[in-house]
């Protein structure tokens, strides 16, 4: 592989105009597709194989035209102090709002609070439910504007009016913090590379890669039903790895220049060595992201594949566009150790022989490996303790900031009708094969009323055929509570008994039941996913490092860092520690997708640092150095760059903490803290400590396996052989001339 990538690097450097034109054309093509495509909305959410989804599909079949998957809104009214919603003036204002909403082109139905039991017992709060013919993703902006205008008209009459539901869900915004993250990355690159131009190259190429990835996602969003968060997550991961991969290639290029190589040769060798690490690091990230498809949740699968595509583009850009732009830069990119005049270059190097920070740190770890190892494990173990209290759920309007109308509507409904009113359960009774469907409906309603934690059970509402009915159930507790989850399980248990007695199916659905089912599905999939991803990456790392213990150590270190990161997420978003600093307005259960998403993404990113750091150590070992000295040598050449790469990735991920979307905010924090733990505790401390303790045993591989494995030559040994052959040819020519 090293030889192939070496040739690719030299080709890209030499044919820089062709390579640059190709990438610019690809960016323009993707941009044109994005410009002409419909805007992304909120992806339709389905969880195949669950009871909630089965019931939802049954509703679509048995209640045609009911817009089961249509967008919904709840317009909540509150009377002024001392007044009731039943007062004539307030009642007239509400009726006018209902009439105004009913005229919408996409509106399927609007409920009248005074005819459908939509007024609280104390008379202070009322609500009107609006159902649309299309999903929230397909809802026209004019319909949202009409909804807000109707609410504003009602406010003019003196009422407090707020709107809940998914009809007003906005495309999430990341805010200015993302720009700050990129700014931090730029500063780190300048310090690391010692040149404004060299620092600009990774940023430029990463932005090109993310631009291609995000534009492609935008162009395909409507066709493939990609949600608005898909492009944000793809840009988050693509930007971070794009900068890092480019940084590693540029740094190796400068190191090759420092050894006296010509620029084209240096570009080829940078791609042949650092580029090999980029390929395998990127491959582990892609495996982890594509592996999310095993969960069988379409939204999560699409997010993973889209992000994986962006990572693949980042890898290709690092291998081709980076050497091309290095060709354009020429002598303005200086050898390692030299700085531009603007940054202090040209001064006397009075400390040229002084060991750098990476050398000093690695020497310290090699002298005291056991102490460093124990301290790292204990520290990460302490950070992981809160993960034992992990509670999972999916965000609803109750997790929105209090400044939003959705959250205020949620609070008003809780105040007027009880906390469970925000998470009604829909029980679907399929009595198609029953002799007396009406009796089955009545039996189901009676048994549900007898359960604990039930506030209200509405009468069964049959379809036109009379063989299927829906029963609305209002729990006593809020949607995300354990009590509501227990109630869902109790209803399903009662439904199993009814099926045994009558043969009728009793299914529970609704947003709350969907959330419970998806949380359970994600929990069940976590271990198989972990085995699949870690297993595949373990095999890949065996090929890369030609060792059993090094990949095993890499996997165990990853588990430590991801558990510690989950502990930090629980401490901030569930317990409320430092919530003000992180902009968390409402604590609660951790998003159900968080553990499995973090496992996938963090594993891929953790292997990035593992590959970049350990390949440099193995390279030194392969070239004849003793194990402990190889660790020091590896750190001398790679610690500074790995540190810079980690700081850049943390800065980029932290930028997304400012997002308006609670899911993006939580993922941004989780990934940032995970990289912090993994890069600085696991890879920079635990890894050298373990390698120092293992010594030469770290690189042990059974002979039969060594013969069976392909030689991918990540360390560039074939290039060293090429050097020795070239040197011998030169010597022979000298002898002939002599």
HEC sequence for 196-244: HHHHHHHHHHHHHHHHHHHHHHHHHHHHHCCCHHHHHHHHHHHHHHHHH
Q: Residue 87 — pLDDT band, cuts 50, 70, 90?
A: very high
The answer to whether residue 348 scores a pLDDT higher than 50 is no
**Residue found by looking up tokens 């007239």 in the block:** 92
Query: 734 and 21 in contact (C-beta within 8 Å)?
Result: no
pLDDT at 463: 87
Which DSSP state fits 398? G
pLDDT at 719: 67
d(CA 398, CA 512): 12
Q: Residue 69 — pLDDT band, cuts 50, 70, 90?
A: low
261-294 pLDDT per residue, tens = 899 999 998 898 888 888 888 888 888 888 888 8
pLDDT at 228: 64
pLDDT at 535: 83
d(CA 95, CA 78): 14
d(CA 308, CA 287): 8
DSSP one-letter string for 116-166: TT-B-TTSSEEEEEEEESS-TTT--HHHHHHHHHHHHHHHTTT-EEEEESS
pLDDT at 728: 47
Query: Which comes out higher in pLDDT, residue 324 or 458?
Result: 324
pLDDT at 280: 82
- Torsion sign (Cα): 55, 57, 63, 66: positive
List the structure tokens of 408: 């205020």
Region 477-505: mean pLDDT is 89
pLDDT at 345: 52
The answer to whether residue 260 scores a pLDDT higher than 80 is yes
The answer to whether residue 173 scores a pLDDT higher than 60 is no
The answer to whether residue 488 scores a pLDDT higher than 90 is yes
DSSP one-letter string for 316-339: HHHHHHHHHHHHHHGGGSPPTT--
Least confident of 316-325, 347-356, 456-465: 347-356
Q: Residue 738 — pLDDT band, cuts 50, 70, 90?
A: very low
Least confident of 577-586, 686-695, 715-724: 715-724
373-392 pLDDT per residue, tens = 999 999 999 999 999 888 87
Least confident of 115-129, 213-227, 459-473, 624-638: 213-227
Q: Residue 126 — pLDDT band, cuts 50, 70, 90?
A: very high
3-state secondary structure of 475: strand
d(CA 225, CA 401): 27
Q: Residue 196 — pLDDT band, cuts 50, 70, 90?
A: confident
- Torsion sign (Cα): 364, 370, 373, 374: negative
608-652 pLDDT per residue, tens = 788 778 888 887 887 788 888 999 998 988 888 888 888 888 888
Least confident of 250-254, 583-587, 643-647, 712-716: 712-716
Percent of the chain with pLDDT over 90: 25
d(CA 62, CA 24): 52
Region 177-188: mean pLDDT is 74
Please give the backbone phi and psi of residue 413, each rounded to the nearest 5 degrees, phi first. Answer: -65, -40
pLDDT, the chain, mean: 83
Q: Is 36 exposed, middle or buried (0-12, 13-18, 19+ CB in 10 A)?
A: exposed
List the structure tokens of 274: 């650092």
- Helix (H), strand (E) counts: the chain: 23, 11
d(CA 517, CA 51): 8
Region 206-222: mean pLDDT is 86
Region 340-355: mean pLDDT is 52
Q: Is 201 exposed, middle or buried (0-12, 13-18, 19+ CB in 10 A)?
A: buried
Mention every residue, 6+ apart, whose C-beta is less than 8 A from residue 29: none
Query: Which comes out higher in pLDDT, residue 72 or 712?
Result: 72
pTM: 0.77
């Amino acid at each position: 592989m090293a030889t192939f990538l070496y040739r690719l690097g030299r080709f890209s450097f030499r044919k820089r105009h062709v390579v640059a034109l190709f990438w610019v054309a690809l960016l323009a093509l993707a941009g044109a597709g994005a410009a002409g495509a419909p805007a992304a909305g909120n992806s339709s959410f389905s969880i195949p194989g669950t009871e909630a989804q089965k019931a939802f599909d049954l509703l679509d079949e048995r209640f045609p035209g009911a817009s089961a998957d249509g967008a919904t809104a709840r317009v909540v009214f509150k009377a002024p102090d001392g007044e009731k919603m039943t007062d004539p003036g307030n009642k007239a204002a509400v009726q006018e709002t209902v009439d105004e909403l009913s005229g919408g082109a996409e509106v399927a139905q609007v409920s009248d609070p005074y005819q459908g039991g939509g007024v609280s017992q104390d008379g202070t709060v009322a609500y009107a439910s609006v159902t649309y013919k299309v999903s929230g993703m397909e809802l026209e902006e004019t319909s949202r504007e009409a909804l807000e205008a109707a609410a504003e008209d009602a406010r003019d009459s003196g009422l407090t009016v707020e709107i809940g539901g998914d009809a007003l869900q906005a495309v999430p915004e990341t805010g200015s913090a993302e720009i700050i993250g990129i700014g931090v990355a730029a500063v780190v690159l300048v310090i690391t590379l010692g040149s404004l131009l060299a620092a600009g190259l990774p940023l430029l190429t990463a932005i090109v890669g993310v631009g291609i990835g995000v534009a492609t996602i935008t162009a395909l969003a409507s066709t493939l039903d990609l949600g608005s968060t898909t492009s944000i997550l793809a840009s988050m991961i693509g930007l971070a790895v794009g900068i890092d991969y480019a940084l590693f290639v540029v740094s190796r290029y400068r190191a090759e220049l420092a050894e006296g190589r010509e620029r084209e040769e240096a570009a080829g060798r940078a791609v042949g060595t650092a580029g090999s690490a980029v390929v395998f690091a990127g491959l582990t990230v892609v495996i982890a992201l594509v592996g999310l498809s095993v969960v069988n949740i379409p939204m999560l699968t699409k997010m993973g594949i889209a992000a994986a595509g962006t990572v693949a583009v980042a890898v290709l850009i690092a291998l081709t566009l980076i050497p091309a732009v290095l060709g354009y830069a020429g002598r303005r990119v200086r050898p390692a150790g030299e700085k531009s005049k603007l940054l202090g270059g040209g001064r006397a190097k009075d400390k040229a022989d002084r060991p750098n920070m990476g050398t000093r740190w690695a020497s310290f770890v090699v002298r005291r490996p056991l102490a460093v190892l124990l301290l790292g494990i204990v520290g990460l173990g302490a950070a992981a303790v809160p993960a034992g209290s992990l509670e999972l759920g999916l965000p609803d309007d109750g997790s929105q900031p209090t400044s939003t109308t959705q959250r205020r509507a949620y609070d008003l409904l809780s105040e007027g009708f009880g906390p469970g009113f925000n998470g009604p359960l829909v029980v679907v009774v399929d009595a198609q094969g029953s002799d007396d469907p009406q009796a089955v409906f009545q039996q189901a309603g009676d048994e549900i009323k007898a359960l604990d934690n039930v506030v209200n059970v509405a009468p069964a509402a049959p379809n036109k055929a009379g063989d299927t009915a829906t029963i609305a159930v209002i729990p006593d507790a809020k949607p995300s509570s354990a009590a509501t989850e227990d109630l869902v399980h109790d209803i399903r248990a009662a439904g199993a008994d009814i099926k045994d007695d009558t043969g009728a199916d009793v299914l529970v659905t609704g947003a709350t039941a969907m959330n419970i089912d998806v949380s359970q599905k994600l929990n069940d999939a976590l271990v198989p996913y972990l085995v699949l991803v870690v297993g595949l990456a373990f095999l890949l790392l065996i090929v890369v490092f030609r060792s059993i213990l090094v990949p095993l150590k890499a996997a165990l270190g990853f588990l430590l860092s991801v558990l510690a990161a989950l502990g930090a997420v629980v401490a901030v978003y569930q317990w409320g520690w430092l919530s003000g600093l992180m902009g968390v307005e409402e604590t609660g259960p951790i998003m159900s997708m968080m553990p499995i998403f973090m496992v996938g993404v963090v594993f891929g990113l953790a292997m990035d640092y593992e590959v970049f750091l350990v390949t440099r150590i193995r390279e030194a070992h392969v070239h004849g150095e003793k194990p402990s000295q190889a660790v020091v040598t590896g750190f001398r050449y790679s610690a500074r760059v790995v540190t810079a790469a980690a700081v850049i990735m943390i800065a980029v991920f932290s930028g997304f903490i400012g997002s308006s979307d609670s899911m993006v905010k939580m993922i941004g924090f989780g990934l940032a803290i995970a990289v912090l733990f993994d890069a600085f505790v696991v890879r920079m401390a635990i890894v050298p400590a373990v390698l120092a303790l293992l010594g030469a045993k770290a690189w042990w591989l059974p002979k039969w396996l060594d013969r069976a494995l392909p030689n991918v030559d990540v360390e560039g040994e074939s290039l060293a052989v090429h050097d020795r052959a070239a040197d011998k040819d030169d010597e022979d020519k000298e002898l002939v001339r002599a």
